[in-house]
Amino acid sequence: MTKFDFLSDTQKSWHHMDVEQVLASLESSIEGLSYVNARQRLRHLGANKLPRSRPISKILLQPLLDPLTYLLLGSATYLQWNGAEGWALILVGVLHGSIGIGISLWSMKTREKVSRDRPQRRQYETSNSVIVLRDHEEMELPLRDLVLGDVLILKAGDRPNVDLRLLEVSEDLLVNQTNLGGEAICPKQVLGFEENTPALERGNMIYAGTEISSGTAKGVVIATGRFTYEQISLIKERSFSAIHAELRQLRQVWLYLLGLVTIIAIAFAWHRGIIINAMTAAALIVSTYPQNLLRMATQVQLLGMRDLARQRIWARFPSILDALARVTTIVPILESDVILSFDNLHQAGIEWRGLLRTSEEDAQAFGEVIGVETHSYFDAPQERIRQWQGDRPKSMDAVAVIGNDIEDIPLLRLADVGICDRTCRKELQDSSGLILPKEEFHYLPIAILEGRAIFDRLQRTALITASSAFTLAVLTLMDTAAGFSIPPLQLIWVGAIATPIVSFPLVLEPTHESLLFQPARRFQTMLRPSNYLRILLAVTATITAISLVFWLKYQGQAAMFSQARSMAFITLVFSQVFHACAIARQGVLRNLPLLLGISFITVCQVMFIQIPWFGEIISTVPLNGVEWTIAALSATAVFWVQELIKTN
């Protein structure tokens, strides 16, 4: 027990208590704390610092905190002890763990760069000090020195980073709570509220992240640092990302498939020894699990935010780029005397609709003149927006609303993408997801194109990753059922190394202008029938090519088995290469990362086949030029299938 243990309970119903009870619970007074008592509390509670973004030390230790790391290590040790290639599992684990750390550090640096460039930070720098009562006197202290029980005096323009229970207020006190999802103009009072009153409706509380619009107030600090309402809300209500949600669903499908394939394969080959099958199962899991896909999705979104920032277009959250890709309706809020200039986005499946600050009759007449469906701003605009959004959650249609007045904040928050420009008031910028450099609609196609490009990059990466995983799973089943055993190291090389090498350049490709002229339905969801068909055709083409190469060489002759398996291995590896070439937006010769990846894989593949030392490890034998040509040309089957899909 310590002197200040009573301060550990910060989740009391402060708004329900009267002023005397609040001060008594905090052992404070209306004149504030003494200087000595405040310093003692500061030493006990620590500085009032907002939680930093993920520290580098935590990123570096991330693999050691993951239970899967120890599961992999235990499995690898057991398999190595029993004569299998457990070392390969550890090698792949270290490789992908290092890549994951690298992506996380890259994301952290990109996020910091985007944060420094955003307009809110430059234009509205938060003050680092505040007026506090100590020993009955007013003094200016750094925000980091605030402690529970401190009494603050706030004035217009102040943005506290602590939560306060109000003690005294002026009659003209107004607080802007839009940064927390509340109203732009909130009057405050000292009287208590019901215990179950929602947080943002508690009129006697001022939360961190809000701003004093007018008037003055005196309040006592009841929460600091990571215990403020703002920080707790950020943890509980992270911005929804449709792309991340779909990638998680794909990962679950992969895990179910891997479990099913592993069980069936072990059941088929139980009588042939458990060690080799355990190694095959472990290799299949390691080679087909979508390593670092979610981290890569986050980084691609951050790079998109950075690219937009270079054009002075600011996306406040990565999830905004998801919604931009899905936009089917853009709704500017108009004045009758405004001069309009719209980009024709009909070919992209995007419609312009307007809300005019006039009667419904005048709005429709105005719409007929400009050729855009227009309705009255005063005639249930929220219902209009919900109607355009469609039946959620079935509909993935996104609506973007462009506002320019303080009254537009509720509509900006209701929309999938709230948009304003840098000349708008701070309240509007806090309520918007996309901030344009100025009031011109011509910036919107740029932002929508970037959102679609991000979706397209991740979609193509997911397609090649899923196709590779399903191909390896089907091959494992077919080999086991036929009485063969696919070498585990070949599985690991194809799924855990070669496929990521050729898929990674796909997320680095520049934005392709043609994406803006494709139907909007292509960017609604990755989980659509056409993508399932693409995966099915890619897997079928690859399996067919491998099977033909193997059986035409093998033909039941035991002496030809090693050569047939080596040729099938070449076809499998180069199928991934040709698949990446087929779905890349850029030609191979213009895509330097992809060209380097293909060159590396080709060199390694030649070494694995032609050098006997590698052949002993990876279970291959040297082949002649004709066999190489047949195996490599057979791998182009998936390329021609993808090209055929493009033409239809």
C-beta of residue 344 within 8 angstroms of C-beta of residue 149: no
Largest CA-CA distance found in the chain, in angstroms, rounded = 97
Q: Does the pLDDT of residue 275 top 50, yes or no?
A: no
pLDDT one-digit tens code per residue, 191-218: 878 878 888 888 889 998 888 888 999 9
**What pLDDT was estimated at residue 46?**
82
The pLDDT confidence band at residue 281, using thresholds 50, 70 and 90, is confident
Structure tokens, 65:
């905190």
**What pLDDT was estimated at residue 287?**
86
Structure tokens, 178:
């839009």
**What pLDDT was estimated at residue 240?**
60
C-alpha–C-alpha distance, residues 72 and 64, integer Å:
12
Residue at 320: amino acid letter: I
More confident site: 192 or 535? 535
Q: At what angle do helices 293-310 and 242-268 cross, to 10 degrees?
A: 160
Structure tokens, 32:
């504030």
Q: Does the pLDDT of residue 600 top 60, yes or no?
A: yes
Structure tokens, 195:
């215990």
- Classify residue 212 as left (phi > 0), alpha (psi -120 to 50) or beta: beta
C-beta of residue 163 within 8 angstroms of C-beta of residue 205: yes
C-beta of residue 288 within 8 angstroms of C-beta of residue 500: no
Within 10 angstroms of residue 557's Cβ, the number of other Cβ atoms is 10
pTM: 0.82
**What pLDDT was estimated at residue 397?**
84
pLDDT one-digit tens code per residue, 79-123: 778 777 778 888 888 888 888 888 888 888 888 887 776 665 444
Q: Does the pLDDT of residue 7 top 80, yes or no?
A: no
**Concatenated DSSP letters of 516-531:** GGS-GGGGT-S-SHHH
Mean pLDDT of 595-617: 94
Q: Residue 639: enclosing H or E segment and its boundaries?
A: helix 637-647
Structure tokens, 409:
């904040």
Mean pLDDT of 535-559: 92
Structure tokens, 127:
């003050």
Q: What is the DSSP letter of 33?
A: B
Mean pLDDT of 344-358: 86
Strands 151-154 and 129-134: antiparallel
Strands 373-376 and 351-356: parallel
**What pLDDT was estimated at residue 625?**
93
**What pLDDT was estimated at residue 122?**
41
**What pLDDT was estimated at residue 178?**
73
Q: By percentage, how much of the chain surpasses pLDDT 70?
A: 90
C-alpha–C-alpha distance, residues 222 and 224, integer Å:
7
More confident site: 335 or 321? 321
Within 10 angstroms of residue 200's Cβ, the number of other Cβ atoms is 17
**What pLDDT was estimated at residue 537?**
94
C-beta of residue 544 within 8 angstroms of C-beta of residue 607: no
More confident site: 327 or 335? 327
**What pLDDT was estimated at residue 119?**
60
**What pLDDT was estimated at residue 340?**
63
Q: Give 142's Cβ-side CA count (13 Å radius).
A: 6
Structure tokens, 340:
């309009």
- Lowest-confidence range among 60-64, 311-315, 456-460? 60-64
Closest CA to 309 of 119, 109, 507, 510: 119
Q: What is the DSSP letter of 183?
A: -
Closest CA to 374 of 363, 359, 388: 363
The pLDDT confidence band at residue 337, using thresholds 50, 70 and 90, is low
- Mean pLDDT, all residues of the chain: 84
pLDDT one-digit tens code per residue, 469-520: 999 988 988 887 777 778 888 999 999 999 999 999 999 898 888 898 888 8
pLDDT one-digit tens code per residue, 219-272: 999 988 878 887 777 655 445 678 888 888 888 887 787 777 777 766 665 655
- Classify residue 149 as left (phi > 0), alpha (psi -120 to 50) or beta: left
C-alpha–C-alpha distance, residues 10 and 147, integer Å:
12
Taking the chain, what is the end-to-end CA distance rounded to the nearest angstrom?
74
